Structure 1
Amino acid sequence: MRRAWIDASAGVAGDMLLAALLDAGARLEAVRAAVAAVIPDEVRLTPRQVTRAGLRATHLQVESTDRHHPRTWDDIRELISRTTLPGRVRGDALAVFERLAHAEARVHGVPVAQVHFHEVGAWDSIADVVGVCTALHDLGVSELSAGPVAVGSGRVRTAHGELPVPVPAVAELAAGWRILAGGEGELATPTGMALVTALARECAELPPMRLEATGIGAGGRDVPGRPNVVRVLLGVEGDQPEDAIVLEANIDDLDPRIWPTVLTSLLEAGAADAWLVPIVMKKGRPAHTLCVLASPGQADPLRSAIFRLTTTLGVRERAVRKTPLERGWAHVDVLGARLPVKVGHRDGVIVQATPEFEDAARLAVQEGLAVRAVLDAALAAARTARLAPGEPVPSHLEETCSRH
């Protein structure tokens, strides 16, 4: 499950949230195409890198092409509904606008169908809402939550005159949500508040996740001492089980000297792992069960390889679920050589750290030592380098290994 958490402790606006999602990896071309599907040729979206109180962020410039028109909630609903956007994107965008329309209707005392989005701007609110919903879909987010929202303080001038902060629409949208002042001025806009409260499952602290990316979206103002940004933290929930398959065959008539080459060939053919289990078959004959672990997509070629490499007349298979640790490489200095250490980790903490055997064996031959002595020296060097269970994952960890 991929989840995202919104940090709105400095406020939130629709363009800031969209910029944060783009900064986290959502594709700009997908967002532009979705917005154009609703309001063709009305909006330009231009991201750029900025700093806010010394913090790097992405600022998204949402510009009108002067071809927009004032629209009611009914107009916007019709525009979104008739597009070919993915069903989830359409549904989420309609939910946000419906929430926004009901809030505006209550504030102004008019029927929902007559709400005009003049205060939030129909064209830029469409870009923000459709853009955010598309970006979440593009990132594969299945669960969204958010922390308390800073709404600001003081007063702000609007089309209806001077209003207190939070403005009435934001206050209406924030009902049931935890809010705080957070600073001077208007820090949360109606569109931003509608996006958070309509799409986020709950108001909660940062949930446990394996962090994959952080996106930072900037507001238009650079406030000294307080970064004017929205952050989005993107990750997956804990260790993620993966679908796999185990192929098995009972074999009692293969020359045992061949087994090492069979296992090596299966690993080279794409198996995640391959091993033998000693068994006793009918009439007391000693035999082995050949076991091969693989992704479902590798089942066919590996099944063919088993038939080609062994004497079996049949292969059985079963589906399994595996939960791998994240993996990477580090290196330690041993006897003047650099030996790789495979590091398995979860939630930022090392779980396993194992010197690579083949490299240790080659160094042992080169130095005329027992392999065990080289492995012991490598483990001692790894502990000295804080590559040991319970230690934090080092920042210099190299590229992730294949996950078996």
Structure 2
Amino acid sequence: MGLGDIRYEDVIAATEEFRSLGRDDFLQQYGFRRAKSYEMVLDGLRYDSKAIVGVAHGHATGEFLRAGDFSGGAATVARCLRDLGFVVETGETFHNPAALLERLRRLKVSRGPGNPAPSRHQPLSLLWAISREADEWPRLTSWPQFRDEVGPLLVEFGLPNAKATPEYPFWHLRGSGLWEVQGIPAELTEKMPKTSILDAHHPQAGFKEEAAGLLRDPVTRLDAIATICETYLQDVDRQALFERIGLAGYTTAGSLSSPSEDESSDAGTDEYGRATGPAPRRDTTRSVIVRDEALARKVKELEGDRCQICDTTLRYLNRPYSEAAHIRGLGRPHHGPDELQNLLCLCANCHVLFDGLEIYVDPDGLVRGTRGDREPRPLRRDPGHPMDETHIGYHRDLCNLNARKPAVG
């Protein structure tokens, strides 16, 4: 039952099965779990090394080994594959956000003749896929849906005069190590399949499970969006892009909204344009986040209903008036916690500016304007009011992502 019988071609046969079945089905069929430490890398794709060796042994001897039949690790599986000329790496890169961001910075993007700017096809496709993660859609998308949704996106936000070819990022994003394509027969994967093959087989593609798992964390997801934009899309109108791509939630720290311009009023008017009757009404059904009102009262009491940014104390109906503002917004896509450490006491004006990403708190605790048009002033902090610097940093990163000028803070 030694591994010495395995030949190079046996490993290749195992990888072909892996691609044909897809990772999950391959592991389930042969009785393996995902690799925790060692992964084999071939043509930009990553394989669970122990599973590949177990199946390769079956191709070599007719005896397919299962996970419990032999031990994995550097001295066995990794050594076997390396002796045959394959590259084996530790799988730690799939289990920490820093490595994910580094892979995003090092995409193998193409450059057109005479145009030094990197192609936007892969970055835009990744942002589109991240928006699906934020909305909790399935991580894999069929080729027809990818083509129909990403294709127009490439036309609208791609480089000027660049041809929109969604089939290229659909396939070549595999080289990032974060992306997989399932459903193409192994014999058709030696080179990029033609669109006719994609149309015929309807393969699926998307983030690998490890990358998708990391992107489910709102903080990592924001870092990934910022990394892609700052590395490849510096000259793109981000607000327009986010609105178009389904990431509009990242243009505000809260849930600011404006009335739809398409809504029309049925109220009658006189010759001077004044309403002649009561404002119209309509029935609606909506789902809202239930906030802890006791926390809101507590932060207002701690700060004496005085704005922590401008020191204003408003009065309304002969009473002090202030607002409890979440630093990292509740609900999608920010999923901030409803806790005292995530709350500020603000006046209505500063609350709007804070949620609208017009002001932020820098690492030194100074409140600054994202447009550089405000005199910095310290954020007032009551000793009994703890604030989580992670939430403040998250809000600052949002401001940086949307700033039209160089990075803030």
Bin of the TM-score, shorter chain as denominator length? under 0.3
State which structure, 1 or 2, has the greater radius of gyration over its C-alpha atoms.
1
Kindly indicate whether structure 1 or structure 2 has the higher relative contact order, using CA contacts under 8 Å at least 6 residues apart. 1
What TM-score, normalized by structure 2, do the two folds share?
Answer: 0.23
What TM-score, normalized by structure 1, do the two folds share?
Answer: 0.23
Q: Which structure shows the higher strand fraction?
A: 1
